[in-house]
Structure 1
């Protein structure tokens, strides 16, 4: 990393940065002394090379876990090959994704059998997938470019645990999912994502038992996501669509293999009716907190009726074990699913939140622990060296909140500030005269009145980030008639498609919600202005937040300062981080929420953000934008 090192010889216009070397040395020490390390590395530090180089030079087995598929692909296809060439190293590499990212040859064959039932567009997509299947080497759906990623056909042909028949499958030897896992078990450097890491380590839910090795070094990039992701995996989550799918599968087995047992189909139909009635009642109640929903006697009765119907099917199927291999597997799935449903309905864990998220044709049921610090501490307590890094971990110059959440209070903690000249490169504006009581359409109009002159001053080149889809839609509708620059709105296409189009146009305006607040890298003159509608506080009626808040109060803590504020600070930092991505970038951040100025807690946000110049004068911000070439 020095002025005459391998990077300077291979990377065009490379400049040695002491802050990057300092981070790399910290990673070296963590590896050598078997320490856990938590490090915030601001934008521009070069954290990817700072953790990769020591890890690769150590010669040890390394597991790299990321928060997004984009970073996962960047590490595997770009950063690792480049570094290994520079360092003249040749370890085996493996890229491993969740099974739903791989094509299943069995499901594709089944889909092709009934291809004629599809619409013209679906049939076209299916034929293109079939054509791609004959040439792909890894079956990674992410490399399928001829079919839109949101196509409904894709979910019918990817690998699922429920549809997998393992070694009994006729495609077992050629199975893309199996081969990907074999490569991972043989590799020295394995690239995964956080969801796969937790699914494998905690749920053993990959369908191939535990496949990730106990690596010598585990590095979590985008580690700020870990507290939320770990809650999901230390808890339980399942969809009512799993019940619907299983009932349909059992009825198919009965029709095809057990024609003399019509009672099976009848019981499945009764259970399907019970599920439908339960979902109807849930839809009418519009409740998301299951503890509150159980107070509805009618809904409660329907819940136990559904559980009884599923238990009856399970008992009936036990009498037919051995008659059908497919039925035996279905019984195993049913016996695993029924206790989960019972645990959800009973709500016995006072240290967990029970929530229902209604979706098209079903509901997602979640049991979420309100504190996972002890579980994380146990998980990260092996001889493995655990390294956690992100550009957004600290609050008010402290990593304590993040470390406490993941049980790493004893880990070494470092904050590596960005080398960018933020006071010169960026201006932070909270406009004066923001209405305190604006609601709904008034808020949207106020936002548009700020967006229009900013967009014009920036010559397009603007991100407008929202905390809700509803506000995004209202502002998008109003902006269409008031700006003459290309308007890209979340939902018009995939995230990557919109980003590619934004970069290609060079003068576009992109409107997005949470998925665009992080993991988005637009460098240079294409992005000069980021507008954020309001401080990203969690909704106070969120089921998990309410459970956490109640627990905090029992321990004598203030829920707002203990839970809500730290989460909002990290989220805002992610959104702000979209603006300055390079030492030559310049831009304006406009936050349309004066609570950061006139509330005492606003200082926590200000102290946690990069040291940008600040103003309340929108005209000054517009002048700054006009000076950017």
Structure 2
């Protein structure tokens, strides 16, 4: 290491504010020298006040533990001496050090001074793709034991081990990366610059050629992974049942005979050979992914052209590449070349990032994100920005460095551009795994990113409808618009517009005069938009006079008809400005492209011009004839924060034509549509019609045997209040009670599924405040930081965990085996009747003389309900309870349709207390 001494400190306290009387109850310290923990220090401290209950529950420290402990003043001198000559280290220095400094001051000791290292900050830089930077989570990533979290000495020792591991990881980084880290790290909050310099100096002392990296503009970039050679083996599809069984035995250990899987494999192979179309509904448990993956791979190898496999979520695309592909390879006995292809916006724009690196003016969040990207580039194989775990401000920074179009294929950039690498990889692959959004966006380009194909598999086919609506959506957000347009700045504000005029002045006349005129056009456009927003605000307030207590309001866009002229005029003025500055930018780029600083400014300038043009296009699309006439266009606002909360949305009600165009079933290859839910009892073609499948395409069903679900049981809690006849708060209190009791009975491992973020938040907060589940890891979508997949990984990591989720957790996530014991349905998943898109679709159905509830609301709710059950049982060994708290399932005539849509599982209608007794008995028997 570097010869320094590191004092790693952790405090347990009665609260967060020493100024308000909070005191330390325990301190733990570990001394790190030359990469080893050499000694430790630990003591309880009497705070002179009662320990709050939630602190005791968190730490396990009770009043009796500290009753005879010394007060801080009695230990202050030896603690102060312990820190002398050391670098102060903590996992969140900004809490531990100020708290300790306050206590030193209170004890009459001088303030401690010296270097600090925050292992949270260091971990974010060195492990930029870690799913979480909490001490327990990041320690688990490194295999560091932490049995008694929130106990000072245990946390201190774990943090010390983490420091040692992070230092070693730092020293493994290539020299160009370390050089950039050191140069940029002086803006960080702790003294990481000296740690980076020490690693850099050591690297230079032991200078050696570092393989595996390409160095471009000072950045070390991971060399592309080696692609497997194309196999020309004579492989044919196993038509004989015995031959097929032999292949499956190679793929699965242990092997389990699944007749439905075998039948689906045959159907997929037949479809690809005939270049026809198949709709395959595959029940949970038959092994759907492998059923299409094997025949697609065999056919692609035989044809010498890749097959595309598209799913809805990126998580499932990665699952296919990371887990299922290996099984297919084992089955056929040859390596398969598979490429994971996402939309261009997922990838980093290296040129833009290099330009940002050359500048020095940024916020703390941007500095931290830059350092994370620098380290990530030395290790990423994909260049997919979704791999990074950055802070809120960092997410905005990532948007700055996303690609918006493919790079030009010339020179050295072609070798390192991740998107071009991925396209080349895809063209020489056997399988291209992508998502629905990529397929939809491909149709918008002049040239498809896909090579000639042997076939196409659309998994999660029912979600292609949602993906198509999102793809076709026009969204205008007042906040986003103001942020984007505000980058230009009005005259005299010193922002991009003023800098552009200054640059035009350097180019001489008439450029300067025209640039000033462009500024005046910008001012007129901004005035026009201000007038439009003021008019929209007044009209919304007028429209809502009959519902003054309703804060969140939604109106049809057609309600803004009186303001169409004003809104269009604002858009036209903005276009006039954009056309002028685009014209003026061309000569400036050609004049100054050799000046690095000016070239960087012009690159940023052009980026924001493009972003503003997108905003203008969306605005004019909304207020053009198509937008105003579309019933599925609406305006949303929260009256407590208007105009900031203003959003205007337009989605097409029918996307079947767009879907058929994206999939291109007449492209000379077979197309397989598959999902766990492609039909409903009595509504066989509910999904097929929305996808646009011709009547000639039959929906074939592949079902698991009844014994597959023998570990499942459904409970309807019969003594819950009627959700439609009690105040929401009363229902939430009952939900919280039921969740707490079910969680304790099952030992955690529960999904709690909501249809409303508001109800989720209120239930979660009520349970947290009650402290009845203090020993459980409670993870809540929209409250706990992180993406859906990060939340799922956290849920799976802890045995005593509960995940509160809304829409996206009803489907598309797997928690197999013991990871999931119960799914709790808080209310039946009907769409809100006030949802504008739902209203538009319902109106269309009503106009045709049909019942919108029976034709739209009910089937969509049943599909989601069925998908929720699918989270529970993923193999014959799984055991789980599907708990429904909404009594409409037993009281309403349509309730039986929800139950009929599920596989054949026992259904019990019981009171909460009886259900808890049965759950406890059931899971105790399991253990």
- TM-score relative to the length of structure 2: 0.62
Q: Which residue of 2 aligns with 1:291?
A: 557
CA contact (8 A) 1:64 1:218 kept: yes
- Answer with 393-402 or 313-322: which moved more: 313-322
SS of corresponding position for 2:450 = coil
Name the counterpart of 1:579.
Answer: 872
Distance 2:836 2:779 in 1: 32
Q: Is the Cα–Cα contact under 8 Å of residues 708 and 876 in structure 2 kept in the other structure?
A: no
Counterparts of 1:531 and 1:150, CA distance in 2:
35
Q: Work out whether residues 291 and 347 of structure 1, in 8 Å CA contact, stay in contact via their aligned partners in 2.
A: no
How far apart are 1:462 and its partner, in Å? 1.5
CA distance in 1, matches of 2:468, 2:578: 32
Q: Distance in 2 between matches of 1:290 and 1:419?
A: 48
Question: Alpha carbon RMSD of aligned pairs, Å?
Answer: 3.2
Note the C-alpha offset of 1:13: 0.8
Aligned to 1:254: 500
Query: Quick one: distance in 1 between partners of 2:609 and 2:412?
Result: 22
Offset at residue 255 of structure 1 (A): 3.6
Is the aligned partner of 1:108 residue 2:396?
no
Does residue 411 (structure 1) correspond to residue 697 (structure 2)? The answer is yes
1:62 is matched with 307
Within the candidate set 467, 480, 492, 1:229 is matched to 467
Deviation at 1:489, TM superposition (A): 1.9
Instruction: Report the alpha carbon displacement of residue 398 of structure 1 after superposing the two structures with TM.
Output: 4.9
Offset from partner CA, 1:323-370 (integer Å, 9 cap, x none): 245689988887776454323113436565113466996866443221
Alignment equivalent of 2:269, drawn from 28, 31, 46: 28
Separation in 2, partners of 1:335, 1:143: 29
**Post-superposition offset of 1:302:** 4.4
**CA shift at 1:415, angstroms?**
1.7
Tell me which residue corresponds to 1:488: 779
Alpha carbons of 1:178 and 1:378: their partners in 2 closer, same or farther (altered >3 Å)?
A: closer
Secondary structure of the residue aligned to 2:710 is: helix
Is the CA contact (8 Å cut-off) linking 1:485 and 1:509 kept in structure 2? no
Residue-pair matches, total: 620
Which of residues 324, 334, 338 is equivalent to 1:79?
A: 324
Which stretch shows the higher mean deviation, 494-503 or 321-330? Answer: 321-330
Specify the alignment match of 2:862 in structure 1.
569
What residue ranges of structure 1 are gaps of 5+ in the alignment? none
In the other structure, the counterpart of 1:346 is 624
1:206-605 matched pairs, under 5 angstroms: 209-234=447-472, 236-237=474-475, 241=480, 245=484, 248=487, 251=497, 254-255=500-501, 257-259=503-505, 260=512, 261-275=515-529, 278-279=532-533, 285=540, 287-295=553-561, 297=562, 299-300=563-564, 302-314=566-578, 316-317=580-581, 320=584, 322-324=586-588, 338=616, 340-348=618-626, 350=629, 353-356=632-635, 365-379=648-662, 380-382=664-666, 383-396=668-681, 398-408=683-693, 409-419=695-705, 421=707, 424-436=710-722, 437-480=725-768, 481=770, 482-486=772-776, 487-490=778-781, 491-494=783-786, 495-605=788-898
- Are the equivalent residues in 1 in contact too, given 2:484–2:611 (CA < 8 A)? no
8 Å CA contact 1:99, 1:160 repeated in 2: yes
Residues 173 and 500 of structure 1: CA distance in aligned 2, closer, same or farther (over 3 Å): closer
- Give, in whole Å, the separation in 1 of the partners of 2:609 and 2:384: 31
* Deviation of the 1:611 alpha carbon: 1.8
Please, which moves more after superposition, 248-257 or 444-453?
248-257
Among 183, 191, 198, which residue is 2:433 paired with?
Answer: 191
3-state SS in 1 of match to 2:457: strand
- The one-character-per-residue Cα deviations of 1:24-78 (angstroms, maximum 9, x if unpaired) are 1111221222221111111110011100111111134300101111111111233
Q: Tell me if the contact between 1:529 and 1:625 (Cα under 8 Å) persists in the aligned partners.
A: no
Task: Give ranges in structure 2 of 5+ residues lacking alignment.
Answer: 1-240, 489-495, 506-511, 541-551, 590-601
CA distance in 2, matches of 1:184, 1:322: 35
2:403 matched to 1:118? no
Q: 1:118 to 1:80 in 2, by over 3 A?
A: same
Once residues 109 and 329 of structure 1 are traced to their aligned partners in structure 2, the CA distance between those partners, rounded to angstroms, is 14
User: Does the 8 Å contact 1:422/1:612 carry over to 2?
Assistant: no
Give the whole-Å Cα distance in 1 for the aligned partners of 2:482 and 2:396. 21
8 Å Cα contact 1:247/1:268 also seen in 2:
no
What do the CA deviations read for 1:404-443 (whole angstroms, capped 9, x no partner)?
1111132121122233536632221222233231232111
Residue 607 of structure 1 deviates from its aligned partner by 1.5
CA contact (8 A) 1:426 1:587 kept: yes
Question: Per-residue displacement from partner, 1:104-142 (whole Å, max 9, x unpaired)?
Answer: 2123223334454212x5422321211222343431234
Rounded to whole Å, the distance in 1 between the matches of 2:369 and 2:582 is 40
Structure 2: distance between partners of 1:40 and 1:405? 15
Q: What TM-score results when the alignment is normalised by the length of structure 1?
A: 0.89
Residue 220 of structure 1 deviates from its aligned partner by 1.0
Give CA-to-partner distance per residue, 1:367-414, whole Å, 9 cap, x none.
322122344345544133111111122211654111111111321211
Which piece of structure 1 moves more, 517-526 or 364-373? 364-373
Q: Take 1:293 and 1:612, find their aligned partners in 2: how far apart are those partners?
A: 49
Distance 1:622 1:373, change over 3 A: same
What is the alpha-carbon distance in structure 1 between the residues aligned to residue 579 and residue 262 of structure 2? 63
